[in-house]
Amino acid sequence: MTDYQSEGNKFDVIILGAGSIGVPAAYAFSKSGFKTLVIDEEASPGQGSNKRAIGGIRATHSDPAKIALCQRSIEVFSTWQESTGDDIEWVRGGYCFVAYCEEEQNSLKDLLRLQKELGLNIDWHDTSQLLEIVPELNPDGLLGGTFSPEDGNASPLLALLSFYRQSLKCGATYKFHEKVIQFITSGEKIIGVKTSSNQYYAPVTILAAGGTSRELGTLVDLDIPVYPDSHEAAITEPVERFLNPMIVDIRPTDDSSNFYFYQHFTGQIVFCITPKPNIWGTDIRETSAFLPMASQRLLDLMPRLHHLRVRRTWRGLYPMTPDGFPLVGLVPEKPGLILATGMCGQGFMLGPGLAELLVRLVDGSLREDDLQILERLNPKRQFQAQEILK
């Protein structure tokens, strides 16, 4: 390969992947004055998992790192229209984790202490209190649930498009239709990347390639433990708004684990399920098994919805890690490379908060709380814990 560098292909930061993480990161870096390049093999931003996310945004997690990152993301999403003028259909509807079994009741209540300690506005509500917040919930067997009113939702399509446009205004460069096929190295140091049609150089390369991150790692003999796991979702016809929070049911059934749904700003009910066992791999063709399984769970939780017609289903990938937590940080054996991948089912909500942390990591302004986050999300950790609210 010709090792040819000119001003046109030299950047301060190269971001691999214009998705839920890469585009907010491009905005944060370019806004901070970095000459930023984003590379994606697709034709436009957000064509990977981002456009398949249903738009849930919560700080209600079981882990301090995710809580802190999403608290910041919520600040960004909730003030985005005010600060940029762009409507991303943000609604602060809250999140409601329901309990119909003692086991779920106990795990949700156990988590409350940590969640409150970390500053979350969240409380347990017994059956009658919860029915005041969500009157349409099926009362049969309902033991209560948590409600966190500051969480919300937004459109992943509008949000990413807006981050993209704002990053362009700040000077970010995007190269679409270019697949990254090789890392350019100097000794062990990563100094750039080669794509299907060009080569680019930067002292820092951020790998934010979602479900294909492991494949990219093999190009430099790195085993990045990100495994694509497919999930399906559906959207109904729109109806008058009656439901504010995202409803999450973590009770497992024979063929699924988590189930969650909400009513979008524009009236449609959007729902998603975690199949059991997981369906590993990159196949994103819709299945005939999904809708009967998911709609049954929807109607069990909210019988009132039985007349609603489903307009469309789709399938996408969660970039999963062994413990359900992202991989974020420097890679000691490959100086110049930063991982920002393995976002599992929460990449959209983590994006803006994580983007700002990445800037602080690169410009050397990390705060004490950042160091704790990076320690928890260290790509070299032992993967012993397990995320409870996946």
List interacting residues with ligand FAD (CB under 6 A). Answer: 17-22, 39-42, 47-50, 52-56, 179-180, 208-212, 216, 231, 233, 272, 316-319, 341, 343, 345-349
The least distance separating ligand FAD from the CB of residue 146, rounded to whole angstroms, comes to 17
| Cβ-closest position to ligand FAD | 19
**Between residues 41 and 356, which has the closer beta carbon with respect to ligand FAD?**
41
CB of 228 to ligand FAD, least distance (A): 9
Shortest spacing between CB 357 and ligand FAD, in angstroms: 14
- CA gap 188, 310 in Å, rounded: 52
22-31 and 347-363 helices, crossing angle to 10°: 40
Concatenating the DSSP letter of every residue in 196-244 gives SS-EEE-SEEEE--GGGHHHHHGGGT-----EEEEEEEEEEEE------
Nearer to ligand FAD, 19 or 336 (CB): 19
The nearest distance, CB 349 to ligand FAD, in angstroms, is 4
209 contact partners, CB below 8 Å, separation of at least 6: 16, 17, 19, 180, 216, 341
In the complex with ligand FAD, the residue whose CB is nearer, 181 or 367, is 181
> In one letter, which amino acid is 378?
N
Distance CA 315, CA 49 (A): 9
In whole angstroms, the minimum distance from the beta carbon of 366 to ligand FAD comes to 22
Q: Which is nearer to ligand FAD, 147 or 348 (CB)?
A: 348
| Residue (of 143, 94, 389, 141) closest to 257 by Cα position | 389
Which of 94, 347 has the CB closer to ligand FAD? 347
Complex with ligand FAD: residue 73 or 146, whichever CB lies closer: 73
Residue 175 parent element (H or E):
strand 173-175
Min dist CB 180 to ligand FAD, Å, is 4
Q: At a CB cut-off of 8 Å and minimum separation 6, what does 304 contact?
A: 136
